[in-house]
């Protein structure tokens, strides 16, 4: 049975009130567990639990993912977050508003790391840089490894922040049962347009996903790219039962990466035991030629970093 959340003082300030309101929308949604919210949002259970812990204001991206998973209104919560952030920015440090450093543990156990956990992600330092280097010349890549090899953590806490640090627009989804809806929801949030309009637009044209990614890349920028990361790509074979939607998704991803102006990049995270499923689709066979990166086991030095460096970040060693 899940451990009860720590009580929050309603008079504890902006962050405490924000956390209480997040907990309320979760309660209204039927009180789903954080593992279930993690499945819906692609953030780790620890990151989502920390968002409603009342220790610090979560990032806007985490807030909107939490809200979306609970079925609440994203537009309202986007405004609430900006209001809270503005209030915190106007307060002197140390006023007890909860905006100090988070007291999260340095280790996440078996949970996947999210983008907010990048400062604790160690042991695979060379792979995000290698992926960025490959993406400079290959617009479509697949990160392939055994179940539990760390692909999700590498994509979320390694590649995602590395690409964002270079100024690129980034999106991360998992296909789930309805990959078309997942794409529309993520793009709608990023472009600040209704996802319902995008569902129709994307579904009518395989090339529309690439067009939307290019729109995201060029929004106010002349030289950045848009990176779409599809974690747990095998879900398109295991969870998506609509054959037409599955075929759309499989065709749309390589098409997006092959756009005319070199603005879009696509990276898949794939369990190795589903590699043969990809070989049944000609568009994937062609797209993955020379576009694969394998995730193997960590060596002794990498395992040492996994143990020692998060502790050092947390001031424990």
Is the CB of residue 265 less than 8 Å from the CB of residue 227?
Answer: yes
Is the CB of residue 161 less than 8 Å from the CB of residue 168?
Answer: no
Low-confidence ranges of the chain (pLDDT < 50): 1, 91-102
DSSP 8-state assignment for residue 59? P
So what's the pLDDT on residue 94? 38
So what's the pLDDT on residue 242? 94
* Cα 103 from Cα 15, distance rounded (Å): 14
Three-state DSSP at 287 gives: helix
Please give the domain boundaries of the chain with CATH numbers for all domains. 14-89 (1.10.260), 115-300 (3.40.50.300)
Rg from Cα positions in the chain: 20
So what's the pLDDT on residue 197? 83
Angle between helices 195-204 and 208-218 (to 10 degrees): 130
């Amino acid at each position: 049975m899940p451990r009860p959340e720590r009580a929050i003082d309603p008079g504890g300030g902006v962050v405490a009130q924000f956390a209480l309101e997040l907990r309320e929308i979760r309660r209204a949604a039927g009180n789903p567990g954080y593992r279930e919210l993690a499945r819906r949002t692609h953030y780790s259970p620890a990151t989502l639990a920390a968002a409603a812990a009342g220790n610090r204001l979560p990032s806007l991206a985490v807030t909107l993912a939490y809200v979306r998973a609970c079925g609440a209104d994203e537009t309202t919560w986007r405004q609430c977050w900006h209001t809270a952030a503005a209030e915190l920015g106007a307060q002197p440090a140390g006023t007890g508003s909860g905006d100090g450093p988070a007291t999260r543990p340095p280790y996440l156990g078996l949970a996947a790391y999210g983008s907010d956990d990048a400062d604790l992600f160690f042991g695979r330092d060379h792979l995000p840089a290698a992926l960025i280097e490959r993406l400079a010349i290959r617009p479509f890549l697949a990160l392939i490894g055994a179940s539990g090899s760390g692909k999700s953590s590498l994509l979320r806490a390694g590649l995602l922040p590395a690409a964002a640090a270079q100024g690129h627009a980034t999106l991360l989804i998992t296909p789930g049962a309805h990959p078309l809806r997942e794409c529309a929801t993520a793009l709608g949030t990023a472009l600040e347009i209704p996802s319902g309009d995008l569902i129709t637009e994307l579904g009518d044209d395989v090339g529309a996903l690439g067009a939307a990614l290019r729109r995201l890349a060029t929004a106010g920028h002349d030289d950045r790219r848009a990176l779409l990361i599809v974690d747990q790509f095998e879900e398109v074979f295991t969870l998506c039962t609509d054959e037409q939607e599955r075929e759309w998704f499989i065709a749309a991803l390589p098409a997006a990466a092959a756009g005319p102006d070199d603005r879009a990049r696509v990276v898949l995270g794939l369990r190795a035991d589903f590699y043969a499923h990809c070989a049944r689709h000609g568009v994937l066979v062609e797209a993955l030629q020379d576009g694969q990166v394998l995730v193997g086991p960590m060596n002794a030095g990498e395992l040492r970093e996994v143990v020692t460096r998060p502790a050092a970040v947390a001031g424990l060693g």
